Structure 1
């Protein structure tokens, strides 16, 4: 099970019980990402996960409990991938590789389903305050990964000393999430690529004169 996604009685579950919970959670996360939270019922999840009603309700007595764990599950997966991609970010080429990985992953479904975390956050923001706060915290963690990479670029002389790495990280995150939405509605990842290219080009405006990398344009 994804790190940080544990119910109140998880420590007392048998190995079989943990496997059942993970199966339920995987099915729910997939369905909510594709269909949306509102359109996904507990009966849908039960059928998709191959569990009985008693098994489902033993782990998730109501939909709110399941939604909370789905948010945490999606966030754990997204953030782990982002840590792997951003932990050594220190150059413009690294930013381009980060962009390419996100766009290519989203292209697998022609951008149809959006960001696994952002889509949930958008749907739940006005309906479930606990889920909204949790999603906001996960987005802040994601943004901090970007900020840390940009700080390494600044500290190594790739970016100017006066670069506001926090603001630049927010701009990259906004471009990414807006790009996900445009790709989802257009069923085409090109708007996402363009949004990220423009955000990276904005970061290039803060390239140090002797940063060791030519300030190449990201827009083809």
Structure 2
């Protein structure tokens, strides 16, 4: 949302952060705008001032906020996955991020699952975040093949997809068990798989 004063931007950011906690606890379907308004200590007019599109616009803002948090936690590794050291650093950064969360699951993926059946346009926006995450993994692997850290026959795009699918599966099991170990095991297995393509 553009054209906000510094105070307005801070207020909108506060609403997004507070609403994020509520939605992560109860899910998108489990929250009404009135409950979000009460939980964020926001008046009805104020909520619609910052989110004229209603709940859909607020959820889109939450997805954007959550994605920025997840991606920032992976820096600087996510931007330079062109060495084995960088992949290990990325793995450790992901584990550190999710270990520190109250809600141990990938909220971006969870939002995709919830909004896709009822709001295709919003689902497309949220899915784009996951696609960009996947693309960054693939970019690093392309560089590794170019520098001969991976064998010529290695398919960077398919390997990236395997890593990303393993990551998402690890996050799902982590959520159900409320334990970081499934995610750690999934990422360790992914790195072992990648290393099997080394010359």
TM-score calculated relative to the size of structure 1: 0.82
**What is the RMSD of the two structures over their aligned residues, measured on CA atoms?**
1.9
1:56-86: CA deviations, max 9, x gaps?
1212242112112222222233234345321
Tell me, in whole angstroms, the C-alpha distance in 2 between the residues paired with 1:206 and 1:151: 13
* Structure 2 equivalent of residue 162 of structure 1: 153
Does 1:117 pair with 2:108? yes
* 1:102 aligns to 2:90 (yes or no): no
In structure 2, the residue matched to 1:27 is: 18
Instruction: Detail structure 1 runs of 4+ shifted over 6 Å in the superposition.
Output: none
Residue 194 (structure 2) pairs with residue 203 (structure 1)? yes
- Give the total of aligned pairs: 198
Q: Which of 50-59 and 142-151 deviates more?
A: 50-59
User: Can you give the 5+ residue segments of structure 2 that lack an aligned partner in the other structure?
Assistant: none
Distance 1:201 1:100, change over 3 A: same
Give the 5 Å matches for 1:48-63: 48-61=39-52, 62-63=54-55
Task: Please state which structure has a larger fraction of its residues in helix.
Answer: 2
| Contact in 1 for aligned 2:19/2:62 (Cα 8 Å) | yes
Q: Which residue in 2 is equivalent to 1:44? A: 35
Given the two structures, how large is their TM-score scaled by the length of structure 2? 0.90
Indicate conservation of the 8 Å contact 2:174/2:181, yes or no. Answer: yes
Matched residue, 1:3: none
Aligned partner (choices 127, 134, 139) of residue 130 of structure 2:
139
Structure 1: gaps of 5 or more residues: 1-5, 209-220
Does residue 56 of structure 2 align to residue 70 of structure 1? no
Contact kept, 8 Å, 1:25 with 1:70, in 2: the verdict is yes
Question: Any conservation in 2 of the 1:163–1:206 contact (CA below 8 Å)?
Answer: yes
Q: Single out whichever of 123-132 and 136-145 deviates more from structure 2.
A: 123-132
Counterparts of 2:5 and 2:83, CA distance in 1? 46
1:109 to 1:139, Cα distance in 2 relative to 1, 3 A: closer
Tell me the secondary structure at the aligned position of residue 76 of structure 2: helix
